[in-house]
Structure 1
Amino acid sequence: MDDNPGTAVEEAVRRSLALVDTWLRWDDRPKVSEDGDRVYTPHKAVRRIADHLIDHLAEVEAVLAGVGTQPDAWHGSLVTLESDWARFTEVDRDEAHQRLPRLARTFSLRLAAAGPDEWDRPRGDGWTLREIADHLTGVLWYAEQVGDLS
């Protein structure tokens, strides 16, 4: 397969942003995740999408450099920051439209630069680059927790 698996990550971000576009109607009430374990606000969902992309972009860079990955110490979805409760404005939406596609594109371009020979190369106990990309398509889940508020 010669199709860059990173393009699926870009598509997941595009689909997430379609939901983000509806969040200007957010009523300041958090949404409970489908598993019932966490709450999400628009800002938290955008933050988690960005953090997830950053985390796995750093993982890919470490893997390709042949060095260990940085240990995961994110609080992740377990915490809701004070800033996550802020009103979600047009400027916040616009910033998400700038930040998230750039991160997804950087991930996709990094896989393109690594080339198809690297995408499915076994990585010991770690995921292949394709598996990391497949996992990252799950960033849409964060946006789905807030949902379509139109």
Structure 2
Amino acid sequence: MTDSSHSQKTPAQAVTGMVDHVLALASTWTAWDGKPAHADDRVYTPHKAIRRVADHLVDHLAEMEARLVGERPRPDHWHASASTTEADLAPFTQEDLDEARSRLVRLARIWANRLDALTDEQLDTSPGEGWSFRELALHLEESTYYADAVGDLS
């Protein structure tokens, strides 16, 4: 994760920028024709992309918070991208977009507030096992993958 484009951003900007990117694409998804998109060996829909981004944010937030208080993070039990639910196949309405905005913007702000409260040392020498919190934020930035799989439907 030494890509020079990442080094310009703070960890908080990596997370909020990812959410901005996802929501910019999602703003076009009310035009979705109901046909799932295929990426690698998986299937994606607007609802599934939003679910995966939110789950990824929640999962790693729980990990970070547990590590900060000296707990061992609980393993996740998401079905992740391997599973496409009936709800994932539903039409993506303006109301769904509004809900996604509310959910993802709030999650991004929680992340940004937490990351901005940490020192550079805490970001780079993070407690517990796993990536540093800076690396975790840059990993979350890769969640654009889910939205990019659905793409711009305008």
Give the TM-score of the pair, scaled to structure 1.
0.92
Q: What is the match of residue 96 of structure 2?
A: 92
Give per-residue Cα distances to partners, 1:4-59, cap 9 Å, x unaligned.
412211011101111000001100000001x2x11001000000000000001101
Residue 103 in 1 paired to residue 112 in 2? no
Give per-residue Cα distances to partners, 1:99-122, cap 9 Å, x unaligned.
101101101111122332210015
Q: What is the match of residue 71 of structure 1?
A: 75
User: Is the 2:68–2:127 contact (alpha carbons within 8 Å) kept by the matching residues of 1?
Assistant: no
Q: What is the match of residue 133 of structure 2?
A: 129
Residue 31 in 1 paired to residue 37 in 2? yes
Q: What is the match of residue 3 of structure 2?
A: none
**Secondary structure of the residue that 1:39 maps to in structure 2?**
strand
Q: What is the match of residue 52 of structure 1?
A: 56
Gap runs ≥5 in structure 1: none
Q: Within 2, Cα distance between the matches of 1:71 and 1:97?
A: 27
Paired-residue identity, %: 52
**RMSD across aligned positions (CA):** 1.5
C-alpha deviation, 1:123, in angstroms = 4.2
Q: Within 2, Cα distance between the matches of 1:7 and 1:122?
A: 19
Q: What is the match of residue 16 of structure 1?
A: 22
C-alpha deviation, 1:125, in angstroms = 4.0
**Number of paired residues?**
147
Q: Within 2, Cα distance between the matches of 1:23 and 1:12?
A: 17
Q: What is the match of residue 11 of structure 2?
A: 5
C-alpha deviation, 1:132, in angstroms = 0.4
Q: Which amino acid in structure 2 is aligned with residue 102 of structure 1?
A: R
User: Is the 1:39–1:80 contact (alpha carbons within 8 Å) kept by the matching residues of 2?
Assistant: yes
Q: What is the match of residue 144 of structure 1?
A: 148
Give per-residue Cα distances to partners, 1:65-107, cap 9 Å, x unaligned.
1110111221100000111111110000111111101101101
Q: Alignment partner for residue 82 of structure 1, among 71, 82, 86?
A: 86
Q: Within 2, Cα distance between the matches of 1:72 and 1:51?
A: 10
User: Is the 1:4–1:116 contact (alpha carbons within 8 Å) kept by the matching residues of 2?
Assistant: no
Q: What is the match of residue 114 of structure 1?
A: 118
User: Is the 1:4–1:108 contact (alpha carbons within 8 Å) kept by the matching residues of 2?
Assistant: no
User: Is the 1:48–1:142 contact (alpha carbons within 8 Å) kept by the matching residues of 2?
Assistant: yes
